[in-house]
Chains A and B, each alone.
Chain A
Amino acid sequence: MSISLLPDNPAAWTYRRFEELYAIGREEREKLQLEAVRINFARLRDRIPALKKLADRQGVRAIDKLEDVLPVCFDHRVLKNYPIHIIENRDFPKLTAWLDKLTVHDLSRVDLSGLTTIEEWLARLEAYGMLVTYSSGTTGKLSFVPRSRDEFGPWRAHFFNVNYASSGVDPTFTRLPTFFPGHRGGYQTMLKMMSLFNVEMAGGPEHYHTLYDSHIPADLMALSGRLQSAEDKGEVERLGLDPALLQQRQQMLAQGRRREQDMEAWFGKLIQQFKGQRVKIGGTFADLYRVTKAGLEKGLRCEFAPGSIMIGGGGMKGYKDAPADWEDQVKQFFGVKKLGNQYGFSECIGNAPLCDAGFFHFLPYAVPLLMDKDGRAMPREGVQKGRLVLVDPIPTSYWGGFVSGDEVTLHWEEDCPCGWGGPRAAKTIRRFAESEGGDDKITCAGSQQAYNEFMEFVSGEGQ
């Protein structure tokens, strides 16, 4: 190893260049990772109540080999296993007590007086030194990542690093005006990362251009399903929500309905304004393709300066029937050489950048493992497909071992033609499902998920 890394401080690894990190040999890296996970688990095991409970129950005292960590990884549900009614009732003492079990910080000292919204609660936690963000999955229930200021440094360093890796432009030295076709600010993980890091990468807020200059309050995200059903029953008043919040909801819905037109107009303006300049374009690929399609149909083509970059995400979720060559069309329309991409989840700091050969490479501070459907560790060799478990040894205030809901194909042999090392995930990633129920299994039991109009409109997926 040409660089020296200490196993008791994986946070410091993030400050090394990604090329150096990928160049560490497999044997050496795995030794280092095991040691780092072992130390981090030992440090946190008895200090995080939820981890202690799980580890006690599973009878895990220490990590001797990497696979030992599997039984003590949190299922992704753990970050949202509070009862939804404490959100509905905005019972902040209970919500705080729940979160308190996931962090080493003493949240019982957070002043909760006068809080009326989840948004305010998150701000109060931030003022206390936490950096709690949320994400909402398919059920609409918010999961809260109990991150804190303790993790800020490595989180930032990694994010700069991985942006460099996936775009070829080092944001530490090259600040590019950035376009992002979405909202701005707030505590949703991606939007919080934007405020924390992307705005800086762009060279300041005036160089960071978003479609809307507001964000969706966490309260509306958290209650979207409940609000819809309350509205249907004529019981919205009973929820006791601030009328301003309800008004905001109506605005969001209206915004969602005209989102596509707004996006076209907004991009149209930027395309003119930044002609001949180097820019960075972000957003979901579904949105970027929408803009591309509308532009190409009008015979338009962006004329940004060479060296402009694109970093997208979200796959083509929310866009049906994209043509096979959509990637080429996007590149052609925006005039970028590649579609930068990353794979990861908000629970773990170390998301993996996409290489030129089309694989997501994990950095040494994101330790992947695969589990079969019975929860057993799969061999770390050759090519394996299973449920991804990611252990993040960086955090010192929360436990970073998580079982995802994703089925991932991992290549363990470090033979990627792109030249990067590390285990790599193939691009096709899908939800890990139980054994298939057949082509169209029909049963009489079950209940229908409430249709979530709000989320679909606001995220542009209902179009």
Chain B
Amino acid sequence: MSDIVDIPIISRGRVLMPGPDAVEFKGRGGARFRSPDPHKHIQDLVLGSPALLADLNNTKMRDIVEFLVEVGKRLRLEDNPYLKDSFALALQAGGLAEPILRGVYDDMPRMFDGGALLDLADRTIGIAYLDGWVPARGEHSHVRVRAVGTRQLHITAGNVPVVAALTIIRAALTKSDCLIKSPSNDPLTANAIARTLIDVDAGHPVTRHLAVAYWKGGDEAMESQIVRTSRIDKITAWGGMSSVKHIQKFLTPGIDLTALNPKYSVSLIGREALSDEAAMQEAATGLAVISGFYNQTACANTRIVYVESGLDEKSLGRVIELGRKLLAAYKTLPPVISTPAPTRNSELEEELKAASLDEDFYHAEGDTLNGGFVVSRFSDRVDWYDQLNNRVVNLVPVESLLDATKWCDDTTQTVGIYPESARERVIDAFSLVGVQRMVPLKGADPMRIFAEMHTLPPGMPHDGIEPLRRNVRWVIDHRPPEDATVRIQPPSPTARPFTVS
């Protein structure tokens, strides 16, 4: 692709197209972009004074949600020109195949469902706290608390476009000022949503508190200007070290960093799954969905499967059989969930090839186009597990599923489990070592398994934390006791205060 794509800066209801001061940058797969020079627009990006959040602070949550619902209605790929552009670009970038990407975009309006948004705000923060001051209980009712919006910088991930939508929603629901630094692998989605906001109501406080720009991560001139306590209160950085390491030097107390680290996910398959064909088939289908959805580009995708099995040839033969069923199950996945990879991953292919040269240690089948698997013939994952991609998984035999805790930590996000009867005996141990979510693999129907694992009630934690709660400022309004709404008896002279000695 040699055409240059214009990426405007979005600044509080205004669209600043690249002009004579434009700068160019490169994206994935040789794409070229042009954007106004962000160095000349710092004042357009940051909110100089937090007092300027008053308009958003005074807007009721119901109004904010109504506005978001209106925006959501317009986020349909078929009639939103901005999304069409960002879709086309994402397609060219080649991270996700067309049917999957279309599915992701088609899902976007659902993220703006009014009921769900109200629920999200209410369950994580509490709408009463966002819209006003909430007195403490009983005799302490003269002390009131409010959740107040902040000035946020979001360094977003670009592998799945929902991150941009999620970020805009979360910032709006916290009544916060939001500056999004787009990633080079998805420079347009946040832009497209922001421009839709402008089309709906350029003067709405949510629109007036959203800015989107691209600059190169590590651009000190930019980041030293932006990451200051006088301009930013909260930073949410996706992608962990790669995005944080640049801004680290500007972090000072007063700036609260939420690092959404790169995550890695696994599945656990209990011994029972290998005992009969039907169970093995069900496990394989579940594994195909959790490894294959979004073509294994997401953090929740399983890359390593720990299987309860002996190390003798017969037992390993069953594990290999599970691997073969998994490859066969990939072929049954609807294209909206998963497709063969558009291109080979030559590095990974070399790893597979090298592994298959040594049958004492590994058994490898498949490739990086249609998916593959490597069975370790011992209880350890492959040394190159961090390269597993293109629907290639490592099946690791373990004596007990609990043995796999030693390979899990804070970077292990989602754990698929089969059968359900194994769940009780592992959930606590795995939650202690750091995993953040355990999901079912049962069901045997790909669409149902996929829908099931992606349907959470509003307000659930994200990667072990509650980003919304964390991104507001909790303010106390401590009045004299006389202002308490509940009258209380003065303390009795004989009562002793509770002290810790």
Q: Which A residues are closer than 8 A to B by beta carbons?
A: 50, 53-54, 75, 77-78, 81-85, 94, 97-98, 101, 139, 141, 373-375, 403, 434-449
In the complex, what's the smallest C-beta–C-beta distance from B105 to chain A, in angstroms? 18
B297 / chain A contacts, CB cutoff of 8 Å: 443, 445
Bound Cα distance from A170 to B298, whole angstroms? 58
10 A-B pairs with least C-beta separation: A438-B184, A442-B239, A440-B217, A443-B159, A446-B262, A441-B185, A444-B299, A77-B354, A81-B354, A442-B183
B167 within 8 A of A: no
B383 within 8 A of A: yes
18 pairs from A and B in contact (CB 8 Å cutoff)? A78-B357, A81-B361, A82-B358, A436-B26, A438-B26, A438-B27, A438-B183, A440-B218, A440-B243, A442-B158, A443-B157, A444-B159, A444-B298, A445-B262, A445-B263, A446-B264, A447-B264, A447-B386
Q: Cβ of A442 and Cβ of B28 under 8 Å apart?
A: no
Bound Cα distance from A434 to B27, whole angstroms? 14
In the complex, what's the smallest C-beta–C-beta distance from A222 to chain B, in angstroms? 12
A141 / chain B contacts, CB cutoff of 8 Å: 383
Q: Cβ of B157 and Cβ of A442 under 8 Å apart?
A: yes
A448 / chain B contacts, CB cutoff of 8 Å: 240-241, 261-262, 411
Bound Cα distance from A101 to B242, whole angstroms? 39
Q: A82-B361, A444-B157, A447-B262 are in contact. List 15 more A-B contacts (CB 8 A).
A: A75-B354, A83-B362, A375-B346, A435-B30, A437-B184, A437-B185, A438-B27, A439-B25, A439-B27, A441-B185, A442-B155, A442-B239, A444-B299, A446-B263, A446-B264
Question: Taking CB as reference atom, which chain A residue is nearest B187?
Answer: A438
Question: Taking CB as reference atom, which chain B residue is nearest A438?
Answer: B184
Bin the interface of chain B by size: 35 or more
Check A441/B28 contact, CB under 8 A, given A81-B355, A374-B346, A447-B264: yes
B159 / chain A contacts, CB cutoff of 8 Å: 442-445
Q: Which of A77, A97, A435, A447 has the most CB of B within 10 A?
A: A447
Kindly identify which residue among B184, B263, B360, B383 contacts A440, using a CB–CB cutoff of 8 Å: B184
B216 / chain A contacts, CB cutoff of 8 Å: 439-440
B57 within 8 A of A: no
Q: What is the total of A-B residue contacts with beta carbons within 8 Å? A: 138
Binds A, one of B46-54, B374-382, B419-427: B374-382
Bound Cα distance from A439 to B260, whole angstroms? 20
Question: Taking CB as reference atom, which chain B residue is nearest A50?
Answer: B357
Bound Cα distance from A98 to B360, whole angstroms? 8
B382 / chain A contacts, CB cutoff of 8 Å: 83
A85 / chain B contacts, CB cutoff of 8 Å: 378, 380
Bound Cα distance from A447 to B266, whole angstroms? 12
Task: Classify the secondary structure of B's interface with A.
Answer: loop
Q: Which of A75, A139, A374, A445 has the most CB of B within 10 A?
A: A445
A54 / chain B contacts, CB cutoff of 8 Å: 353, 357
A437 / chain B contacts, CB cutoff of 8 Å: 28, 184-185
Bound Cα distance from A101 to B240, whole angstroms? 41
Q: Which B residues are closer than 8 A to A by beta carbons?
A: 25-31, 155-160, 163, 183-185, 216-218, 238-243, 260-264, 297-299, 301, 344-347, 350-351, 353-355, 357-358, 360-362, 376, 378, 380, 382-383, 385-386, 411
Bound Cα distance from A107 to B380, whole angstroms? 26
A436 / chain B contacts, CB cutoff of 8 Å: 26, 28-30
Kindly identify which residue among B218, B345, B350 contacts A75, using a CB–CB cutoff of 8 Å: B350
Q: Cβ of B383 and Cβ of A84 under 8 Å apart?
A: yes
Check A81/B243 contact, CB under 8 A, given A443-B159, A443-B297: no
Check A77/B299 contact, CB under 8 A, given A374-B346, A436-B30, A439-B25: no
Q: Cβ of B347 and Cβ of A442 under 8 Å apart?
A: no
Bound Cα distance from A374 to B349, whole angstroms? 11
Q: Cβ of B238 and Cβ of A81 under 8 Å apart?
A: no
In the complex, what's the smallest C-beta–C-beta distance from A5 to chain B, in angstroms? 33
Check A81/B242 contact, CB under 8 A, given A439-B25, A442-B157, A445-B297: no
Bound Cα distance from A50 to B383, whole angstroms? 19
Q: Cβ of B355 and Cβ of A446 under 8 Å apart?
A: no
Q: Which of A375, A440, A446, A449 has the most CB of B within 10 A?
A: A440
In the complex, what's the smallest C-beta–C-beta distance from A446 to chain B, in angstroms? 4
B347 / chain A contacts, CB cutoff of 8 Å: 434
Q: Which of A83, A139, A442 has the most CB of B within 10 A?
A: A442
Kindly identify which residue among A101, A374, A439, A444 contacts B163, using a CB–CB cutoff of 8 Å: A444
In the complex, what's the smallest C-beta–C-beta distance from B363 to chain A, in angstroms? 13
Q: Cβ of A443 and Cβ of B383 under 8 Å apart?
A: no
A449 / chain B contacts, CB cutoff of 8 Å: 386
B350 / chain A contacts, CB cutoff of 8 Å: 75, 77, 403
Q: Which of A53, A84, A435, A439 has the most CB of B within 10 A?
A: A439
Kindly identify which residue among B264, B344, B345, B360 contacts A97, using a CB–CB cutoff of 8 Å: B360
Q: Cβ of B158 and Cβ of A443 under 8 Å apart?
A: yes
Question: Taking CB as reference atom, which chain A residue is nearest B347?
Answer: A434
Question: Taking CB as reference atom, which chain B residue is nearest A448?
Answer: B241
Q: Cβ of B28 and Cβ of A83 under 8 Å apart?
A: no
In the complex, what's the smallest C-beta–C-beta distance from A137 to chain B, in angstroms? 12
A81 / chain B contacts, CB cutoff of 8 Å: 354-355, 357-358, 361
Bound Cα distance from A328 to B241, whole angstroms? 37
Q: Cβ of B358 and Cβ of A50 under 8 Å apart?
A: yes
Bound Cα distance from A374 to B185, whole angstroms? 23
Question: Taking CB as reference atom, which chain B residue is nearest A235?
Answer: B406
Kindly identify which residue among A83, A139, A374 contacts B380, using a CB–CB cutoff of 8 Å: A83
Bound Cα distance from A375 to B350, whole angstroms? 11
B260 / chain A contacts, CB cutoff of 8 Å: 444
